[in-house]
Amino acid sequence: MSTGCVIGVDLGGTKLLAGAVDPELNVHHRATRAAHAADHHAVIDTVVSAVSEVRDAIEGGSGCVKAVGIGIPCLIDQRRGIAVMSTHLPLADVPFRDLVAERIGLPVFVDNDANAAMLAEWRFGAAREARDAALLTIGTGVGGGLVVGGALQRGSQGAGAELGHMVVQADGPRCNGNCPNRGCLEALVSGTALAREAQRLALQRPRSGLGRALAAGREISGPLVTELAHDSDPAAVDAVAAIGRWLGVGVANLVNMLNPDVVVIGGGVIAAGELLLEPAREVVMQRALSPSKQHARIVPARFGAESGMLGAATLALDELGAFA
């Protein structure tokens, strides 16, 4: 591949991150957008807008964009580039790859967003050189990625590794979006779940930092809870720990099923760091089987919230033969 870069797009349930990425995984320009949309046309408009911003910034500086990779929170028919079904966005049987390619005039490659994050972390990040690995990316929902036997796994129809929809509490809260289930890991561990738990504790403990924030009319969001937890507010710390324990239940299932070398935790909620991971590790040691639980490392994503964007770029770079 001659000198140039690709654009990686991480399309989440509520926000989008796009970046121009070169074959050394350096990011040269970033663009963000809100991802809320009424229909698939608006979703595609948002993607095209962000790609155009990044492309203009790069090509205005004499750079060259060769392709676009997009990670989508959706079941993907990767061969045909179709967004089959999403629990968080209005996407159902949408020829996403071709519609975007027609708008921007560049080759486009698509995959599930968590598969993209897994690709980045496996090739270059926290799961590098692992033969067997799992990833949970925790944001609006919970995405999953799997490497088994040294290969990224997508399932027989491209709909595999939906790890966020394993049931960890049979009669638990309803899952998010279009998922018909109850008690999914996503319903108990996502940023939405963290905000819900924090709201409950804020009402119970009005003198806590969370309680005062609620009384002041602030939105009890995942980022606010994380900020207060890092500032040692006990209610916020307890909210993060509660989510961490449910995360541990899900990870214990993965450890028992897969005997992985490493389980990587990414997405926006990982900003809580060890406040989230340590309770999860404790539950894994209580619930998972030996020797798998002693072998598996449970670690934060190396690339943090940018894993999905960098993975989407890696997908495009791979297709162009940049790493050949």
Q: What is the pLDDT of residues 47-97, one digit of tens each?
A: 999 999 999 998 875 568 999 999 998 899 888 999 998 888 889 999 999
Q: Answer yes or no: are the C-beta atoms of 190 and 199 closer than 8 Å.
A: no
**Contact between residue 311 and residue 25 where contact means Cβ atoms under 8 Å apart:** no
Cα–Cα dist 252/256, whole Å: 6
Which pLDDT band holds residue 210 (cuts at 50, 70, 90)? Answer: very high
Give percent of the chain above pLDDT 90. Answer: 82
C-beta separation of 51 from 312 below 8 A? no
Query: What is the spatial distance between Cα 63 and Cα 213, in angstroms, rounded to a whole number?
Result: 46
Other C-beta atoms closer than 10 Å to the C-beta of 160 total 16
Residue 125 has pLDDT above 80, yes or no: yes
| Res. 2 pLDDT band, cuts 50 70 90 | very low
What are the structural domains, with CATH classification, of the chain?
5-118+306-319 (3.30.420.40), 129-301 (3.30.420.40)
Q: What is the pLDDT of residue 3?
A: 61
Q: Which of 270, 271, 251, 273 is nearest to 262 (CA)?
A: 251
Tens digits of residue pLDDT in 137-189:
998 889 999 999 999 998 887 778 899 999 999 999 999 878 899 999 999 99
Question: Above 50 in pLDDT, residue 1?
Answer: no
Cis amide leading into 23 (omega within 30): no
Q: How far is CA 250 from CA 46, 80, 190, 299, in A?
A: 33, 32, 12, 14
pLDDT in tens, 28-42: 999 999 987 789 999
Q: What share of the chain is helix, strand, coil (3-state, %, to 5)?
A: 45, 25, 35
Distance CA 207, CA 211 (A): 6
pLDDT score of 222: 93
Mean pLDDT of 21-29: 93
- pLDDT tens-digit series, residues 92-119: 999 999 999 999 999 999 999 999 999 9
The per-residue pLDDT for 157 is 76
Sign of torsion over alpha carbons 197, 202, 204, 207: positive
Q: What is the mean pLDDT of residues 207-222?
A: 96
The answer to whether 308 and 12 are in contact (CB under 8 A) is yes
CA triple 266-271-275, angle to 5 deg? 105
Phi-psi region of 243 (alpha: psi -120 to 50; beta: other; left: phi over 0): alpha
Res. 250: pLDDT tops 90: yes
**pLDDT recorded at residue 259:** 97
Q: Tell me the C-alpha to C-alpha distance, in Å, between residue 283 and each of 58, 199, 247, 254, 296.
A: 46, 24, 9, 13, 13
Whole-model pTM: value is 0.92
